[in-house]
Chains A and B, each alone.
Chain A
Amino acid sequence: MTASDPVTARPGSNTPGVSDAVAIEIRGLNKWFGQFHVLRDIDLTVCRGERIVICGPSGSGKSTLIRCINALEEHQKGRIVVDGIALTSELKNIDKVRSEVGMVFQHFNLFPHLTILENCTLAPIWVRKIPRREAEETAMHFLTKVKIPEQAGKYPGQLSGGQQQRVAIARALCMRPKIMLFDEPTSALDPEMIKEVLDTMIELAEEGMTMLVVTHEMGFARKVANRVIFMDQGRIVEQNEPEAFFSKPQSERTKLFLSQILRGH
């Protein structure tokens, strides 16, 4: 947050000042967990409609990075601007950003005491203050989109993992976010369920949703991503278009990582 920071320097950067084409702008992001330096000098610009896949070894800070974008993690240094809203410690801004950004977790994190429909209407009703009837219509619309409208009355515990994850996607979509964050959405799933979730995400991408996806599904990255980002030890080591990223990785770390995960497949 220094004066020389290009984003800070721009007048009125809180509103349209930043180009309308930019969805997320991250400059000089640093984060520590106590003494541990998790994110180091991250710079990243995500344009509207862009699909970015983030990969890297375990513990490299992928989750932490995308969790900083909706303020689930607090950052200590640097600047994050989401949809023109600067993420400061100001709660109002955090609320605003969270209502623009949907998130899908590895372990779904559905509310087990609520039905599928209620899971999807909770935030629209409590946060957006939308009438229940209308929220339910929206929820059914998105449940139909993820192809499980018939499960609306069930509880999460009665669904398969793949179905639960699709509900989680629908739940996030019901807030009509402009940006979707996915943190390893398929890595808790059995192989036969991975496809149904990836298909849902591909459909979402085709509709032009801005997406940041932490995943090791390289097939998905090839098919959907505009850009693949490789992280290691809290840094963005390399980023490129998927074809180039996979065929001509630049750094040794990336080559090693790719050889490891591709061998696993």
Chain B
Amino acid sequence: MFVLTFAAGWIAWRLVSTAAGSLAGALAALAALAALAAAPARRALVVLPLTRILAAALPLGLPAIASNRFGGFMPAVIIGVSGIALSPPLGILRGPGRQSALVVINITSVACVEIIRGVPLILWLFTASPLSNLFLPPGTKADPILRVVIMVTLFASAYLAGVIRGGPAALPKGECEAAAALGRDGWKSMRPVILPQAPKAAIPGIVSTFIGLFKDTTLVMVIGLLDPVGLANSIRANAARTGIYRERFILIGLPFLLFCRFMSRYSQDLEKKLATDRRQEGPHP
């Protein structure tokens, strides 16, 4: 999945950086997200086709569930997975934005990252509702899950922007000099030299951002969505289940642990795969 989202981000970056400058691209992506947040558009563009396809593929006849009735691990997984899939393209877009020669784009890009990253996620979740009312056409009511997905995505992409920028910076200076001496310096060495090597350097940081994002999904509790922890509280409130403590927390903690373990395992494998056939133990450090 990382590879896919990376690819998506890369293609977006290529298209956009050649066409209109990265900030415009980021705005376009945001606009697309916002448009999807409007219920009628979403219904027509995403939900209906998707449910048809799913129903055709797996005719179980499950009832549709409104997102305000999501509970337990459902919101955690939905928000986590969408955040993980959507944030890399945005994070990657911010990279060139930061290096852009246009001061306006540069400053806006830096400001976006600093502002989003500098405020706790929980606050962004609280402000998600008034903010989305600000940007959406009046009368449309943004889906709470989607609102959270947008906020979490923005938040994670701000972190990713930093991590992804660190990828190229980790490249040994000598290689950039060699590229320069051969006639491809600065951004011209991006495509053949820097970009192919950046993912490997950035993967550990990206994955730990993802792990953080996934665990942060439990914060949706504060805006009234029933996340696993919130569910545990309502179980505690149930008189029939008094005295059950440990089981609750084990049952909540375990899936998170498994998910995160899977992610870090996957990242290790990915790193190893990128490492073995490219860079083997040699005399050169």
Interface residues of A (CB under 8 A from B): 70, 72, 95, 98-99, 101-103, 105, 107-113, 122-123, 126-127, 155-161, 164, 168, 171-172, 175, 190
Contacts and interface: CB of A to CB of B under 8 A. Distances in A.
B210 to A, nearest CB: 24
B201 to A, nearest CB: 11
A183 to B, nearest CB: 10
A183 B258 CA distance: 52
B223 interface: no
Contacts of B175: 109, 111-112
B284 A157 contact: yes
Contacts of B172: 109
Nearest to A174: B182
Interface string B138-176: 000000000000000000000000000000000010110
A102 B183 CA distance: 10
B192 A126 contact: yes
B182 A161 contact: no
Given A113-B278, A155-B277, A160 B283 contact: yes
A81 B188 CA distance: 25
A161 B280 CA distance: 13
B209 interface: no
A164 B284 contact: yes
B180 interface: yes
B197 interface: yes
Given A109-B174, A111-B193, A122-B192, A156 B282 contact: yes
Q: When A and B form their complex, which 10 residue pairs have the shortest distance between CB atoms, in order from nearest?
A: A123-B182, A109-B178, A109-B174, A157-B282, A127-B183, A103-B181, A157-B280, A161-B283, A112-B279, A157-B279
A160 B177 CA distance: 22
B281 interface: yes
B184 interface: yes
Contact of A113 (B177, B184, B197): B197
A172 B193 CA distance: 16
B196 interface: yes
A172 B185 CA distance: 15
Contacts of B281: 157
Contacts of B184: 122-123, 126-127
A98 B188 CA distance: 14
Nearest to A115: B278
Contacts of A103: 178, 181
18 contacts: A98-B180, A98-B181, A98-B185, A99-B183, A103-B178, A109-B175, A109-B178, A110-B178, A112-B279, A112-B284, A126-B188, A126-B192, A155-B278, A156-B282, A168-B178, A172-B182, A175-B182, A190-B283
Given A113-B196, A155-B277, A157-B278, A108 B284 contact: yes
Contacts of B278: 112-113, 155, 157
A102 B180 CA distance: 11
Interface string B246-285: 0000000000000000000000000000000111111110
A111 B278 CA distance: 10
A242 B185 CA distance: 36
B190 to A, nearest CB: 11
Contacts of B181: 70, 72, 98, 101-103, 172
A72 B184 CA distance: 12
Given A101-B181, A157-B284, 12 more contacts: A99-B183, A111-B175, A111-B179, A111-B192, A112-B278, A112-B284, A113-B278, A123-B182, A123-B183, A126-B191, A156-B282, A190-B283
A123 B184 CA distance: 8
Nearest to B172: A109
Contact of B177 (A105, A112, A159): A105
A158 B178 contact: no
Given A126-B192, A157-B280, A157-B282, A171 B182 contact: yes
Contacts of B188: 126
B175 to A, nearest CB: 6
B249 to A, nearest CB: 45
B193 A161 contact: no
B275 to A, nearest CB: 9
Contacts of B174: 105, 107, 109
Contacts of A107: 174, 284
